[in-house]
Structure 1
Amino acid sequence: MSPMKMCFPGDKLCSIDDCKPGTGVHMRHSVIYSSLVGYVLKKNEGEELPVISVVRETEAKLLPDVGAIVTCKVTSINPRFAKVHILYVGSTPLKDRFRGTIRKEDVRATEKDKVETFKSFRPGDIVLAKVISLGDVQSNYLLTTAENELGVVVAHSEAGGQMVPISWSEMQCPHTHAKELRKVARVQPEYLHA
């Protein structure tokens, strides 16, 4: 895990001009202080300023880290990338919402120049991915699905049925038998949840 700064109650973290207060902190005279013994976590949630929080050691271990396999939900797509919300690290659910990006060039290992994002993912798909970069306060986690075991694991058809994989690049609706393109994961048994 990238080194996180440890802090103690009363430690000065930053000014309210630099961050918004999150959990485990308090504010006094325009300065944000730690309220707990724990690790400082800065997270950008789309606002102008990042949110600064202090998390306990057990929570800090549940943060997505480079090389971690994560389960995420696709929220939007465009020709260059898919935006996702990270839901699980391994099989552990996350309490906080972390955002990720799967860039077009990180969708698959071969023929990267022929990848079309809308033929790989759709909003609402559940995807297994690997963290390749933590990014920074301004950006999302960078994720990849460029391994056979990574990609879409759950998808719903336009008719609302849960689709079943029929190849590495297609899923089919069991009700309408309509086929839709996806970057399908070959799911390993350890990632199957009841």
Structure 2
Amino acid sequence: MEGGEEVLVTPGEILGKESDIKAGRGAYVAPHNRTIYASLSGRRIFIHPSPHSPDQRPIVEVVGHKAHGAVPEPGSVVIARVTKVMARAASADIMCVGPKSVREKFTGTIRQQDVRATEIDKVDMHLSFRPGDIVRAVVLSLGDARAYYLTTARNELGVVSAESIAGGNMVPISWTEMQCPLTGQVEQRKVAKAC
């Protein structure tokens, strides 16, 4: 009954007895035999109660396939948080696909050649992005097994929110610069044009 194993269930499948577990989303108790059944197809998960809860039975839920949230696809606009900047690429965690937030972890890579449309050979990744920056990008392709390839090579794509070294929310002052309102210090970025 461990939650670590991936178990797929279908409607009507027995999940356990009400004396051992509680029914959560995607599950129901049959009153005639106090047995818990799946009400939809999906992954069976167990949620363990807090140690302070008077009822120590785990809750069983069935997470349907549609409950995965948004999934990035080539051509979709995503919002991502930059996690690491290297010489030739930046890594980012995708947080939203269009207006929908993602429920699983998706990683994106912005390669040096995908930062902007012109003067690609002059792109300095460390002057375009910093860890913690929020960027608007478009999914180019599924990339490799670890990450989606993202591009910011359009005017409306790039950094939409950044925090300065002093901790202030930076304000864009050109398409390559943002300024800290607290210190007045200017930092280089690949800035997204406001839509």
Same fold (TM over 0.5): yes
Residue number in structure 2 paired with 1:146: 153
1:146 alignment partner AA: A
Aligned CA RMSD, in angstroms, stands at 2.1
Q: Which SS does the other structure have where 2:149 is aligned?
A: strand
Contact 2:69 2:100 in 1 (8 A): no
Of 116, 129, 132, the match for 1:108: 116
2:173 counterpart (157, 166, 169): 166
1:129 and 2:103 correspond:
no
Amino acid aligned to 2:149: L
Q: Which residue of 2 aligns with 1:6?
A: none
Q: Percent identity?
A: 52
Deviation per CA, 1:85-114, whole angstroms, max 9, x where unpaired?
Answer: 000001111111110100010000000000
TM-score normalised by the chain length of structure 1 = 0.69
Please tell me whether the aligned partners of residues 178 and 186 of structure 2 are also in contact (alpha carbons under 8 angstroms): yes
Report the residue type matching 1:182 in the other structure: R
Q: State the distance in 1 between where 2:9 and 2:128 align.
A: 44
CA contact (8 A) 2:79 2:134 kept: yes
User: Partner residue of 2:97?
Assistant: 89
- For 1:74, the equivalent position in structure 2 comes to 82
> Given the two structures, how large is their TM-score scaled by the length of structure 2?
0.69
> 1:35 matched to which residue of 2?
9
Change (3 A) 1:22 1:85: farther
Q: 1-side partners of 2:113 and 2:183: how far apart? A: 32
Distance 1:124 1:134, change over 3 A: same
Unaligned runs of 5+ in 1: 1-20, 27-33, 40-53, 189-194
Instruction: Report the Cα offset of residue 61 of structure 1.
Output: 6.5
Residue type of the partner of 1:186? Answer: K
Kept in 1, the 8 Å contact 2:132–2:162? The answer is yes
SS in 1 for 2:66: helix
Q: Which is higher, the Rg of structure 1 or of structure 2?
A: 2
Q: Unaligned stretches of 5+ in structure 2?
A: 11-40, 44-61
2:149 aligned with 1:175: no
